[in-house]
Amino acid sequence: MALGRPTTTTAAVYHAPGDLRIEEVPLPPLGRGEMLVRIKACGLCPGEVMDWYMARKAPVPLGHEPVGEVVEAADGVAFRPGDRVFVHHHAPCLTCRVCRRGDFVHCATWRPRRLLPGGLATHAIVQAPAVAVDVVRLPEGLSDDAATFVEPLACVVKSVRRARVREGDRVLVIGLGVMGLLHLHTLRALGAPGLLLAADRVPERLDRGRAVADAVIDTSREPLADAVARTTEGGANVVIAGPGSVEAYEAGRQALAPGGTLVIFTPTPPDAVWPLRMHEVFFNETTIVPSYSAGPDETREALRLLAGGLPVEPLITHRLPLEDAGQGYALVRAATSALKVVVRP
């Protein structure tokens, strides 16, 4: 154990909805291939306020969008103390049949791997599989705050890739929280859409969308499918549905043109059922594509976009200390004025 190395870390631990505790958690000695990082900043994920998703994991330490500085590295690690790094909380093996197909999130090593305890902590241990395949040094010109977007932006990169957006396509993004806005910025950066539309019902978020999209749709004023049909003369080629609800999925499907693709970006609770009109799905040749998390290829593409100047820092609306993480999640849950909340342990 390195001289002066901490043996515990202060971490935010989820116990139940509204029950977030700041606790001291032990830090075990490093195993081969592992490293200890000091967390410099960590973003709050909207998925961490999905109570049905979190309840089955509780109690669980939170945070998977961290920027860290290496404190200690075990044998076999290429990183050195002082390196500033992005750390992915999950890691595939890269060698199995699933990984060779590029389906990294379905690798058997994926879900069992995590940060110990999590990114919302003063320190965390990065397990060997993540160190080996999805820890990346950060360029000097990229701020800690901007670097907290690597993981969420990687999820967006994967979503856009799975959408197979073609040059000239009419693309609609439903939901203008931080993930929806990241979709808009990413689509703009990649330069493919012929027409970029955005939909929401919160005035502040619609205003944000106007700065990036060609047109915004206030779903509190007009049915989504009607507005899209009017604006596109026939429907969208690609719809990315941000909200995790059957209602959002169906609204997105109805806004598609024949031959269109619906990307489902957020899950529903496990008991939700979507009664599809399969006659319409068949004759319209609708493609429905879920997109879950991201792998090493997408994290590197996200880092490339951030290093190239993707304007993410204006999306940060709140910066809080670790002890106020509960307040941060309350802001995320309210889904009004707050977009990205960054915690600095």
Query: Is residue 2's pLDDT more than 90?
Result: no
Task: Give the position of tokens 């493919």.
Answer: 192
Q: Which residues face 239 on adjacent strands?
A: 172, 262
Model pLDDT, residue 111: 81
Residue range(s) in the chain whose domain bears CATH number 3.40.50.720: 154-290
Whole-angstrom Cα distance, residue 85 to residue 70? Answer: 7
pLDDT tens sequence across 210-265: 999 999 999 999 999 999 999 998 999 999 999 999 999 999 999 999 999 999 99
With b meaning 16 or more CB within 10 Å and e meaning fewer, what string describes 46-61?
bbbbbeeebeeeeeeb
Query: Is residue 52's pLDDT more than 70?
Result: yes
Residue type, 217: I
Residues in Cβ contact with 168 at an 8 Å cutoff, skipping those fewer than 6 apart: 192, 193, 194
Model pLDDT, residue 4: 65
Query: Is residue 28's pLDDT more than 70?
Result: yes
Q: Give the angle 292-192-261 at the CA atoms, nearest 5°.
A: 45
In degrees and rounded to multiples of 5, residue 246 shows phi and psi of: -60, -35
Q: Please check whether residue 64 is in contact with residue 121, taking contact to mean a CB–CB distance below 8 angstroms.
A: no
Task: Give the position of tokens 């699933």.
Answer: 98
Whole-angstrom Cα distance, residue 126 to residue 165? Answer: 35
Model pLDDT, residue 64: 95
Residue 72 to residues 47, 80, 86, 138, 233, Cα–Cα distance (Å): 30, 7, 15, 17, 58
pLDDT tens sequence across 283-340: 999 999 999 999 999 999 999 999 999 999 999 999 999 999 999 999 999 988 899 9
Helix axes 203-210, 178-190, angle to 10 degrees: 10
Model pLDDT, residue 78: 94
Model pLDDT, residue 253: 98
pLDDT tens sequence across 73-91: 998 899 999 999 999 999 9
For 8-149+312-344, the fitting CATH number among 3.90.1200.10, 3.90.180.10, 3.40.190.10, 2.60.40.420 is 3.90.180.10
pTM of the model: 0.96
User: E strands within 190-235?
Assistant: 195-200, 215-218
Strand (E) or helix (H) holding 244: none
With b meaning 16 or more CB within 10 Å and e meaning fewer, what string describes 161-194?
bbbebeeebbbbbbbbbbbbbbbbbbbebeebbe
DSSP 30: P
pLDDT tens sequence across 32-41: 999 999 999 9
Q: Please check whether residue 24 is in contact with residue 58, taking contact to mean a CB–CB distance below 8 angstroms.
A: no
Domain covering 154-290, topology: Rossmann fold (3.40.50)
Largest interatomic CA distance in the chain: 68
Residue range(s) in the chain whose domain bears CATH number 3.90.180.10: 8-149+312-344
Mean pLDDT estimate for the chain: 95
Taking residues 170-188, report their average pLDDT: 97
Query: Is residue 3's pLDDT more than 60?
Result: no
Cβ count within 10 A of residue 100: 9
The more confident residue out of 339 and 5 is 339
- Residue 93 has, within 13 A of its CA and on its CB side, a CA count of 10
Query: Is residue 65's pLDDT more than 90?
Result: yes
Q: Please check whether residue 262 is in contact with residue 289, taking contact to mean a CB–CB distance below 8 angstroms.
A: yes
Taking residues 44-57, report their average pLDDT: 92
DSSP 53: H
Two tokens, residue 151 = 């993981």
Q: Please check whether residue 252 is in contact with residue 225, taking contact to mean a CB–CB distance below 8 angstroms.
A: no
